Amino acid sequence: MRNFFAETIGTFWLVFGGCGSAVLAAAFPEVGIGLLGVSLAFGLTVLTMAYTIGHISGCHLNPAVTIGLTVAGRFDAKNVPMYIGAQVLGAIIASAALYFIASGNGTDVLAGGFASNGFGEHSPGKYSMASGFLMEVIMTMVFLIVILGATSKSAPAGFAPIAIGLALTLIHLVSIPITNTSVNPARSTGPALFVQDWAIGQLWLFWVAPIIGAVIAGLISKAIMDPKG
């Protein structure tokens, strides 16, 4: 249960901090943080939580990460459902809190997409489903490769959260215009449940593509990285 609560709290922070920066601060009049600020916010949520709960649950915060680690032989498969449940729960609670706060000035926070992920007309840059799918596969694959390499026993100790946080920042810098950046099915699910409509209809891509990318990364890890983790 310590792991369950750690993953719930950690994913809450990722979604509340990352999506919150997009909903509340990205385009705030005159002092909006923009794409760079949102990218940094997502990276910082992972970096801070990795140091906070990494020693408890491993700080996955992401069903794709949990699955990728399992494929790589670095996580016990019997704990996968519990971890994914905790991550989705944390994302939903964060989205609910963010919706309540963002609605406090009388605006329709869902009209702007509520930081949901999308493709086609719901992509920030109007990119196609194929573009979004491939971007999510590649970005999740690279993210997992960084995680698996940085947390390897042969990697320098204590620096993994920095590498992982910066990797997520870079991923957002590249892919926000394509899909609003997911690489995390739980992060996509929370906001989509509030937007409903198109966000639910397109949610499948933000589960399937990240998981495919994570599985590829897990297989690559088993082939070229330290087999002892």
Question: Cα angle vertex 164, ends 181, 173, to 5°?
Answer: 35
Euclidean distance between CA atoms 186 and 84, whole angstroms: 8
Share of the chain above pLDDT 70, in %: 97
What's the pLDDT at 138? 98
Q: Give me the helix-helix angle, 129-150 and 205-224, nearest 10°.
A: 40
For residue range 37-74, what is the model confidence (pLDDT) as tens digits? Answer: 999 999 999 999 999 999 999 999 999 999 999 999 99
Is residue 113 a part of any domain in this protein?
Answer: yes
pLDDT tier at 75, thresholds 50, 70, 90: very high
Digit-coded pLDDT (tens) for 177-223: 999 999 999 999 999 999 999 999 999 999 999 999 999 999 999 88
pLDDT tens digit sequence for 123-139: 999 999 999 999 999 99
Q: Which CATH number covers residue 62? A: 1.20.1080.10
For residue 133, being part of any structural domain is answered with: yes
- 50 domain-assigned: yes
Domain range for 41? 2-224
pTM flag (> 0.75): yes
- The pLDDT mean for the chain works out to 94
Residue 199 lies in a domain: yes
64 in Cβ contact with 84 (< 8 Å): no
Structure tokens at 144: 């997992």
Is position 229 within any domain? no
Spatial contact of 100 and 140, defined as CB atoms under 8 Å apart:
no
In a domain, 115, yes or no: yes
Number of domains in the chain: 1
Q: Is residue 164 part of a domain?
A: yes
pLDDT: which is higher, 90 or 34? 90
Residue 108 lies in a domain: yes
Cα 175 to Cα 145: distance, rounded to the nearest angstrom: 17
